[in-house]
């Protein structure tokens, strides 16, 4: 069934090999409508985190699966606390290949209802959209994953890989749901080769598809707190023991330090893939970004883009400052919190040593605020990546399928640490403006047509990776 020997560029022109399979018997219009109804009902389950209340969401999904004869387990209720849970289900197959996991989070971020034009927990369907907190992040994708799995079971398509479905608590606050799941149930993941979850946007800019994005890598947060101690006294008599000027000197050095540029494999592919959207020397530069960064003009142009700059180096943002709380008091201590984000292949010990060298002041005390997560960089040459390319090109033959690095953080590293190839995959084609305003903002919504598109797209990806 697979087209391993055919070049990817040809795939879009070949009639689907599955033409005779029962998959063709699916009525996609009615499955799309069913997916919209389920999403609408799911958005009405309020899982604002804190406190989370993911147990209600887990029960809702469990009952949808039960109707299809798929047993789902509610897990980790004791470990996660009152009203909280993870969910696990598996579509068993007769095939001998390794499993693929679909992972979503059950919680959502808080809302400020007065800024919304609909009740954010009504699951309103109007003007061609499903509205509600979680429509994009990420109950919409969770329902699409669930319905694609159900559609595969209903269709009777022969599968070689078990399909695992996991709903996690607490992604939006501590990521504790995924951490507890991996700690307690590594056995359930033992045969999982591939995992798909949020973190790979298909970018639509003013109605024009820019690319299909597969998230193969994300940056690691490596937040630092630096502190200088001094002696408290009256502000009317300046002293050498005021810790504030010394902290400012340290921050000044960090603010003006340029972290070295470094091209990782997924980022090189991303620039190469988007190069045809540019002309002239910009196209040449992007097609080989590592070489271009050695030229001052190219380097200046590329690093002027805040996203491009952030995926080409470790970054430092000075954010929180604390010292005296009164104008006439010299404080006994001054501190700053620094948002540092590392490329996935960086060594935390070496980076910390580099920063200490830049600051060059032994009076500055360093503290790593949270233990950094495992690095996330998954390989690109895989059966899953090829399946995504095939399904995407069937829909948009000219589209690039590329690998933009996420500068934020997801639960993916928690699973990647088990050796699972972990991709960010978004089943929707989301307008940049909707993503920008809706995700963690107001009036979060996903198009009805987009939901129907997403469930068919993911269904095909899962079929092609068999």
Q: How far is the CB of 105 from Zn ion (least distance, A)?
A: 6
Binding track, positions 309-328, relative to Zn ion; x by CB under 5 A: --------------------
- The residue (of 367 and 432) whose beta carbon lies closer to Zn ion is 432
The active-site residue, picked from 54, 76, 107, 411, is 107
Centre a 10 Å sphere on the Cβ of residue 190 and count the other Cβ atoms it contains.
10
Q: How far is the CB of 218 from Zn ion (least distance, A)?
A: 12
- Which residue stretches of 279-382 are H helix? 280-287, 289-292, 296-303, 306-311, 348-359
Q: Which stretch binds Zn ion (CB under 5 A): 91-99, 191-199, 316-324, 366-374?
A: 191-199
Q: Which stretch binds Zn ion (CB under 5 A): 21-29, 138-146, 213-221, 357-365?
A: 138-146
- The residue (of 54 and 460) whose beta carbon lies closer to Zn ion is 54
- The residue (of 368 and 436) whose beta carbon lies closer to Zn ion is 436
User: Are 304 and 317 in contact, with CB atoms under 8 Å apart?
Assistant: no
Q: What are phi and psi of 11, to 5 degrees?
A: -60, -35
Total number of residues binding Zn ion (CB under 5 A)?
Answer: 3
Q: Which stretch binds Zn ion (CB under 5 A): 27-35, 42-50, 198-206, 449-457?
A: 198-206
CA–CA distance, 242 with 239 (Å, rounded to integer): 6
Look up residue 134 and give its DSSP letter. Answer: T
Q: How far is the CB of 162 from Zn ion (least distance, A)?
A: 25
Q: How far is the CB of 198 from Zn ion (least distance, A)?
A: 5
345 part of the active site: no
Q: How far is CA 195 from CA 132, 189, 350, 398, 422, in A?
A: 26, 10, 30, 26, 5
CA–CA distance, 403 with 217 (Å, rounded to integer): 8
**Helix (H) or strand (E) run with residue 266 in it:** helix 265-274
**Helix (H) or strand (E) run with residue 158 in it:** none
CA–CA distance, 74 with 62 (Å, rounded to integer): 8
The active-site residue, picked from 141, 170, 171, 434, is 171
230-234: Cβ within 8 A, 24+ apart: 230/330, 230/331, 230/332, 230/333, 230/334, 231/330, 231/332, 232/329, 232/330, 232/331, 232/332, 233/330, 234/328, 234/329, 234/330
Q: Which stretch binds Zn ion (CB under 5 A): 32-40, 134-142, 374-382, 389-397?
A: 134-142
Give every CB contact of residue 267 below 8 A, 6+ residues apart in sequence: 217, 289, 311, 312, 403, 405
Q: How far is the CB of 108 from Zn ion (least distance, A)?
A: 8
- The residue (of 201 and 383) whose beta carbon lies closer to Zn ion is 201
Q: How far is the CB of 219 from Zn ion (least distance, A)?
A: 16
- The residue (of 213 and 243) whose beta carbon lies closer to Zn ion is 213
Report the residue number whose CB is nearest to Zn ion: 137
Summarize the chain as % helix, strand, coil (round to 5).
Answer: 40, 20, 40
Q: How far is CA 319 from CA 223, 340, 341, in A?
A: 10, 10, 13
Of 89, 138, 143, 336, which one interacts with Zn ion (CB under 5 A)? 138
- The residue (of 243 and 413) whose beta carbon lies closer to Zn ion is 413
Token pair in block for residue 243: 């810790």
Q: How far is the CB of 138 from Zn ion (least distance, A)?
A: 4
- Work out whether 141 is an interface residue with Zn ion (CB under 5 A): no
Q: Which stretch binds Zn ion (CB under 5 A): 89-97, 137-145, 293-301, 366-374?
A: 137-145
361 part of the active site: no
- The residue (of 137 and 444) whose beta carbon lies closer to Zn ion is 137
Q: How far is CA 43 from CA 77, 87, 148, in A?
A: 22, 17, 18
- The residue (of 138 and 148) whose beta carbon lies closer to Zn ion is 138
Centre a 10 Å sphere on the Cβ of residue 283 and count the other Cβ atoms it contains.
13
Of 54, 137, 141, 411, which one interacts with Zn ion (CB under 5 A)? 137
Q: How far is the CB of 134 from Zn ion (least distance, A)?
A: 9
CA–CA distance, 142 with 106 (Å, rounded to integer): 8
Q: Which stretch binds Zn ion (CB under 5 A): 47-55, 194-202, 332-340, 393-401?
A: 194-202
The set of catalytic residues is 107, 171
Q: Which residues bind Zn ion (CB under 5 A)?
A: 137-138, 198
């Amino acid at each position: 069934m697979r087209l391993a020997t055919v070049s990817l560029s040809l795939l879009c022109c070949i009639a689907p090999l599955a033409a005779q399979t029962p998959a063709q018997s699916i009525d996609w219009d009615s499955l799309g409508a069913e997916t919209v109804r389920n999403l609408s009902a799911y958005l009405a389950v309020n899982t604002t985190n804190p406190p989370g209340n993911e147990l209600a969401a887990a029960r809702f999904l469990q009952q949808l699966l039960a109707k299809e004869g798929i047993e789902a387990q509610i897990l980790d209720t004791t470990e996660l606390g009152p009203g909280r849970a993870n969910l696990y289900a598996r579509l068993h197959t007769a095939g001998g290949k390794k499993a693929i996991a679909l992972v979503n989070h059950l919680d959502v971020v808080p809302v400020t209802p007065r800024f919304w034009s609909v009740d954010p927990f009504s699951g309103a369907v109007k003007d061609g959209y499903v509205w509600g907190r979680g429509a994009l992040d990420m109950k919409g994708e969770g329902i699409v994953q669930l319905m694609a799995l159900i559609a595969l079971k209903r269709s009777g398509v022969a599968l070689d890989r078990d399909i695992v479905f996991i709903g996690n608590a607490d992604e939006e606050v501590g990521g504790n749901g995924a951490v507890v799941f991996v700690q307690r149930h590594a056995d359930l993941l033992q045969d999982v080769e591939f995992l798909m979850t949020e973190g790979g946007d298909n970018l639509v800019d003013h109605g024009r598809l820019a690319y299909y994005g597969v998230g193969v890598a994300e940056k690691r947060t490596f937040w630092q707190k630096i502190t200088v101690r001094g002696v408290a006294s009256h502000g009317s008599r300046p002293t050498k023991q005021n810790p504030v000027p010394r902290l400012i000197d340290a921050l000044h050095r960090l603010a003006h330090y340029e972290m070295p540029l470094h091209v990782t494999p997924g980022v090189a592919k991303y620039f190469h893939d988007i190069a045809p959207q540019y002309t002239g020397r910009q196209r040449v530069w992007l097609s080989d970004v590592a070489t271009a960064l050695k030229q001052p003009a190219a380097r200046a142009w590329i690093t002027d883009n805040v996203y491009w700059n952030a995926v080409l180096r470790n970054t430092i943002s000075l954010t929180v400052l604390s010292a005296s709380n009164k104008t006439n008091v010299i404080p006994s201590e001054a501190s700053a919190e620094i948002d540092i984000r590392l490329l996935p292949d960086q060594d935390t010990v070496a980076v910390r040593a580099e920063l200490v060298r830049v600051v060059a002041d032994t009076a500055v005390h360093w503290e790593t605020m949270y233990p950094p997560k495992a690095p996330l960089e998954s390989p690109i040459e895989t059966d899953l990546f090829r399946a995504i390319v095939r399904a995407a090109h069937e829909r948009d033959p000219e589209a690039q399928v590329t690998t933009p690095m996420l500068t934020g953080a997801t639960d993916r590293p928690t699973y990647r640490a088990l050796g699972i190839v972990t991709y960010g995959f978004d089943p929707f084609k989301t307008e940049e403006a909707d993503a920008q305003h809706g995700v963690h903002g107001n009036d979060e919504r996903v198009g009805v047509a987009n939901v129907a598109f997403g469930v068919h797209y993911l269904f095909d990806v899962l079929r092609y990776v068999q």
